[in-house]
Structure 1
Amino acid sequence: MRKEERQQTILEYLSKEHRVTSVELSEYLSVSEDTIRRDLKELSDQGLLKAVRGGAVAPSPMPLHYRKREKHDLENKKIIAEKAISYLKDGQVVFIDGGTTSLALVASFPHDLKLTVITNSFPVAVLVEDLPNIELIFAGGKMCKTSFTTSSMESLDFFRSFRADVCILGTCGIHHERGLTGILYDDSQIKKNMIQNSNFIIALGSSEKIDTGETYFVSHLKDIDVLVTNISPDEEILKPYKKQVTVL
Structure 2
Amino acid sequence: MSELPLARRDQIAGRLSAGQAVIAAALATEFSVSEDAIRRDLRALAAEGRCRRVYGGALPMAGGVIPMAARIGQDRERKLALARTAARSIARGEFLFLDSGSTNLALVERLPDDFDLTIATNGIDIAAAVLHRQDLRLIVIGGSVHAAVGGCVDTDALIQVQRFNIDRCFIGACAVSAQGGISAVDPTDAAFKRTLLSLSRISVAMVTNEKLETRAPHRIASAKSISQITVEHDAPAARLALLRRAGATIATAAPPE
What is the correspondence of 1:185-204 to structure 2 with a 5 Å cutoff? 185-204=187-206
Gapped runs of 5+ residues in structure 1? 1-6, 17-46, 50-58
Do structure 1's residue 152 and structure 2's residue 154 form an aligned pair?
yes
Alpha-carbon contact 1:229-1:247 (below 8 Å) kept: yes
Q: How far apart in 2 are the matches of 1:115 and 1:203?
A: 19
Task: Give per-residue Cα distances to partners, 1:101-155, cap 9 Å, x unaligned.
Answer: 0111112223323211111011111111122232111111111122220121010
Higher CA-based Rg: 1
Normalization by structure 1: what TM-score? 0.73
Tell me which residue corresponds to 2:249.
Answer: 246
What is the correspondence of 1:1-248 to structure 2 with a 5 Å cutoff? 12=27, 64-232=66-234, 235-243=237-245, 244-248=247-251
Where 2:191 maps in the other structure, the secondary structure is helix
Alpha-carbon contact 1:112-1:132 (below 8 Å) kept: no
Q: CA RMSD in A?
A: 2.6
Q: Aligned letter for 2:116? A: K
Identical positions, percent: 23
Q: How far apart in 2 are the matches of 1:78 and 1:8?
A: 32
Q: How far apart in 1 are the matches of 2:192 and 2:68?
A: 17
Task: Give per-residue Cα distances to partners, 1:44-76, cap 9 Å, x unaligned.
Answer: xxx979xxxxxxxxx9xx961011111112121
Alpha-carbon contact 1:63-1:69 (below 8 Å) kept: no
Gapped runs of 5+ residues in structure 2? 1-21, 32-57, 252-257
Alpha-carbon contact 1:121-1:149 (below 8 Å) kept: yes
Where 1:200 maps in the other structure, the secondary structure is strand
Where 1:170 maps in the other structure, the secondary structure is coil
Q: How far apart in 1 are the matches of 2:205 and 2:225?
A: 10
Q: How far apart in 1 are the matches of 2:192 and 2:108?
A: 19
More divergent stretch after superposition (233-242 vs 139-148):
233-242
How many residue pairs get matched? 200
Q: How far apart in 1 are the matches of 2:27 and 2:214?
A: 15
Task: Give per-residue Cα distances to partners, 1:215-248, cap 9 Å, x unaligned.
Answer: 1111111210100011257823201212312111
Task: Give per-residue Cα distances to partners, 1:10-50, cap 9 Å, x unaligned.
Answer: x759x87xxxxxxxxxxxxxxxxxxxxxxxxxxxxxx979x
Normalization by structure 2: what TM-score? 0.71
